[in-house]
Amino acid sequence: MRRNRCTKIVATLGPATATPERIRAIFEAGADVFRLNFSHGTIDDHRARVDILRQLEHKLGRPIAILMDLQGPKIRLGTFTGDKVTLKTGAAFRLTLDTQPGDARRAPLPHPAIFKAVQTGSTILIDDGKVRLRVKKHSDDTIDTEVAVGGEVSNRKGVNLPDVLLPLSPLTEKDQRDLAAGLELGIDWVALSFVQRAADIAELRRLVGDQAAIIAKMEKPAAVENLDDILALADGLMVARGDLGVELPPEDVPPIQKMMLRAARSVGKPAIVATQMLDSMVNAPTPTRAEASDVATAVYDGADAVMLSAETASGSYPLEAVSIMDRILARVEKDPTYRQIMNASRHDPEPTAADAISAAARQVAHTLSAAAIVTYTTSGSTTLRAARERPDVPILCLTPRLSTARRMPLVWGVHAVQSPDAHNFAEMVKRAQQVALREEMAREGDRLVVTAGVPFGTPGATNILRIARA
């Protein structure tokens, strides 16, 4: 079941992929990480899918990563008399805390924090930016605006404020209930929606501890401005281009995507590119050529993983979507240009023993045409540093911790195996040989580059490199 590619696939589960047969089929087609979107479905729905995934993991003997995606605070209008209105460009329009149904002159916005945070001149977007308002003046309970771009607005449409730092916790009461349930189910990664600042990650970390790794969803302009601070506290990031594309001009999203992927790789943390990657495959058995190019671009940019959302959760062709994405990834990675880009974009190692060993392992593996790099790790940090190097051979992660093994399927180039820690050099080499052969990552006589730490079993002590024969 080893993948013949390095970039990973995240597949979202939903009504279209709710049975053991469907989930196994998309795993075998190439899905490495399974996303549970807590904006939809019940706790019982998600529990059933986790049970299916853990049973599949047991049957196949391969760790499977489960990512829970928290809904986050959704800012929505209230209701309208007659359920909808049409706003005309240039007209005056008031938002108010008054919850009475709205009309073409006013609408309820039941979020008091917004009235305190908004500024004169701020832009307010409604329904993914289809309607735009410009703030003229505001008070503690009213916001008077001019309609910059008119259109139809109906009940409870979403509201975005791209140039306002909102004093809202990204963890709602629902999120906290969902998080507790997800941690009880043993999920591996938690994605936090609508991150604005590093303090948002710190707030989640206090609740999660070391029970799961944290992904920061980058979908707010404020998050882009605070990227370095957020990356310092998160375990990875998601380039969530849906909301990011609403709150920023479309032409800004591609360079921001590249910038965020470079930043994540520079600190050795995995990054996912998400949203509408193969969107037409929700209703069609093949993607558009533009979508195929979009997926390929994320691979050339060095993403650890690319994500399918509605394509696998509710689409008509979930298996086909995973299969074609798998083929695109594999094809791009065979392109000589891809290897040139990975080599040219490599960052200098940090002045640590672990980074020095990881950089040396990549160079030795390349020079000797080794079959694989084998990393012994407890926390996963050694394997992450090896992946940061983007070697031209796969990385076999050996770890005694099942929790670590389950997080690694998200990481570029890594094939994880739970294995007892080595106690001496001879055992280290022997186990690396045995697992590499068993997992079909090497053939007899192939060279392996093995990294570990002495004393054995000490987290974060990577300080040795051995060359062995399988």
Q: What single-letter DSSP state applies at residue 265? A: H
Domain annotation covers residue 21:
yes
Average pLDDT for 36-64: 96
Residues 181 and 67 in one domain: yes
Share of the chain above pLDDT 70, in %: 99
Q: Pick from 160, 189, 222: which residue ends a domain? A: 160
Domain annotation covers residue 265:
yes
Q: What DSSP line would sit under 313-326, residue for residue?
A: HT-S-HHHHHHHHH
Residues 394 and 451 in one domain: yes
Residue-wise pLDDT tens digits, 222-235: 999 999 999 999 99
Residue-wise pLDDT tens digits, 420-450: 888 888 899 999 999 999 999 999 999 999 9
Burial tier of 171 (Cβ tally within 10 Å: 0-12, 13-18, 19+): buried
Confirm if 403 and 427 have CB atoms less than 8 A apart.
no
Domain containing residue 121: CATH number = 2.40.33.10
Residues 296 and 259 in one domain: yes
Residues 222 and 199 in one domain: yes
pLDDT at 456 over 80: no
Residues 257 and 207 in one domain: yes
Residue-wise pLDDT tens digits, 386-412: 999 999 999 999 999 999 999 999 999
pLDDT at 458 over 80: no
Please name the amino acid found at residue 379: S
Residues 147 and 45 in one domain: no
- What is the pLDDT at residue 454? 77
Please name the amino acid found at residue 457: G
Residue-wise pLDDT tens digits, 142-170: 999 999 999 999 999 999 999 898 888 88
Structural domain count of the chain: 3
- Give the residue numbers marked as catalytic: 35, 76, 217, 275
Average pLDDT for 378-385: 94
Tell me the torsion sign for CA atoms 459, 204, 257, 221: negative
Domain annotation covers residue 197:
yes
Domain annotation covers residue 345:
no
Residues 184 and 252 in one domain: yes
Q: What is the helix (H) or strand (E) element at residue 203, kind and residue range?
A: helix 198-208
Domain containing residue 228: CATH number = 3.20.20.60
Residues 14 and 114 in one domain: no
Residues 60 and 207 in one domain: yes
Confirm if 36 and 332 have CB atoms less than 8 A apart.
no
Q: Which domain, by its residues, includes 146?
A: 84-160
pLDDT at 109 over 90: yes
Domain containing residue 458: CATH number = 3.40.1380.20
Residue-wise pLDDT tens digits, 232-291: 999 999 999 988 999 999 999 999 999 999 999 999 999 999 999 999 999 999 999 999
Share of the chain above pLDDT 90, in %: 90
Q: Where is pLDDT greater, at 5 or 457? A: 5
Domain annotation covers residue 224:
yes
Residues 250 and 303 in one domain: yes
Q: Pick from 301, 334, 367: which residue ends a domain? A: 334
Residues 416 and 269 in one domain: no
Q: Pick from 141, 160, 179: which residue ends a domain? A: 160
Q: What is the pTM of this model?
A: 0.93
Please name the amino acid found at residue 271: A
Residue-wise pLDDT tens digits, 7-34: 999 999 999 999 999 999 999 999 999 9
Residues 180 and 198 in one domain: yes
Domain annotation covers residue 339:
no
- What is the pLDDT at residue 242? 87
Confidence of residue 460 (pLDDT cuts 50, 70, 90): low
pLDDT at 457 over 70: no
- What is the pLDDT at residue 425? 86
Domain annotation covers residue 278:
yes
Q: What DSSP line would sit under 112-135, residue for residue?
A: HHHHHH--TT-EEEETTTTEEEEE
Domain annotation covers residue 421:
yes
Paired strand residues for 133: 124, 147
Average pLDDT for 69-91: 94
